Amino acid sequence: MQLPPSRFLDPTTPPKIVTLTLLAGVSALTMNIFLPSLPGMAEWFGTSYALMQLSVALYLALSAVLQIAIGPISDRYGRRRVVLAALVLFLLATVGTLLAPDATTFLIFRMAQAVVAAGMVLSRAIVRDMVSDAEAASMIGYVTMGMSLVPMIGPVIGGVLDEYFGWHANFGLLLVAGIAVTVLCWRDLGETSTPSGMSFAEQAQQYPRLLRSQRFWGYCLSAAFASGCFFAYLGGAPFVGTEVFGLSSSRIGILFALTALGYAGGNFFAGRYSVRVGMNRMVLLGTVITTLSTAVLAALSLMGLTTAFIFFGLTLFMGLGNGICLPNANAGILSVRPELAGTASGLGGAFIIGGGAALAALAGILLQPGSTELPLVLLILASSVASVLSILWVMRRARALGLSG
């Protein structure tokens, strides 16, 4: 009997955009699908909201640490092997979260899920392997626009699943999604880099070339503070929705979609205009949009005029600003030393996610019983202002070096 031809592609064939989108998307989905469940999970495990909120901060912190290693490992062994290994480990960790008997065990396996950060790091590096700097910002914009559709509906689905089936259903969905993406990457994700063959010690010697670059630091800080707005929001919004505005988990999930909707719009704008406008000016535009919208929200909060619709609605513009800023800031990080794209993506991602972990944890500390939304709003505003100052530093440095963008 004649077997049908194998659908598996040549392992050197570059992947389709949809593969990179879904690979990054499962990483984003893991970050936020269960957020509407946090209050219910605290009750399930018989612990405090602050402890369960660590499932966000600890996940982000370990993601930051892992990204330092993921980039160099992929530079040495290739993107494909690292992605597939990370996805298998993610599946095992997800099974662990479903079987966890107590909060401590859950948090251990939740932290282990952070290995899926390889999907977000390496999807960017793979894009940079395939195209030039200007095109990379545009393509990353399109990839993250598609990716944002996944976390946009994630909290909505997560809230509904939590309300009708309990929090376990969210992690069951992550398991199914992880299996599907693993199969897709096995079939379509060809190798895009030439393994360097350098030892890790030799690769570590390359770090100073990046860390001495003021432009690298400027792009990292701009991206870290811009995304820090979103991570602080992730850490505090479930509390604000439940405790301040008295919303159900499914309603919170629906309102979370507003931010992701803005992010998708920003990504589309970045994909369409980044080549024409330039990376630095697009980063500045995005950070200014986020800062202005957050300043309006802070003013309304100080006057006591905030409602649930105003609070969540204005975060749409925070998403819009981040959607414009982050693809270009990430392309900037990768452009400083193109030959070290994987390492740069990993280091940059570590700074971005590490800063996000700190801000998410700080949001949990600031929001104590009886708090209003104001501490969270002021934290987001401070982070956004810092992102504007960071990209202005990059632009000043670029002018001094005679660089465009």
* CATH code for position 340: 1.20.1250.20
pLDDT in tens, 339-387: 666 677 777 777 777 777 778 778 878 887 778 889 999 999 999 999 9
Q: Is residue 7 part of a domain?
A: no
Q: Is residue 9 part of a domain?
A: no
Measured CA to CA, the distance from residue 318 to residue 259 in angstroms comes to 7
The pTM of this model reads: 0.69
Q: Is residue 45 part of a domain?
A: yes
Q: What is the mean pLDDT of residues 124-151?
A: 66
Q: Is the pLDDT of residue 204 over 60?
A: yes
| Total count of domains within the chain | 1
**What phi and psi, each to the nearest 5 degrees, are found at residue 388?**
-65, -45
* Highest mean pLDDT out of 65-74, 141-150, 195-204, 367-376: 367-376
Q: What is the mean pLDDT of residues 85-103?
A: 95
Q: What is the mean pLDDT of residues 162-176?
A: 91
pLDDT given at position 2 = 40
Q: What is the mean pLDDT of residues 192-215?
A: 71
Q: Is residue 331 part of a domain?
A: yes
Q: Is the pLDDT of residue 23 over 50?
A: yes
Q: Is residue 348 part of a domain?
A: yes
Domain that holds residue 269: 17-400
pLDDT given at position 1 = 37
Q: Is residue 35 part of a domain?
A: yes
> Average pLDDT over the chain, rounded to whole?
82
Q: Is residue 31 part of a domain?
A: yes
Q: Is residue 96 part of a domain?
A: yes
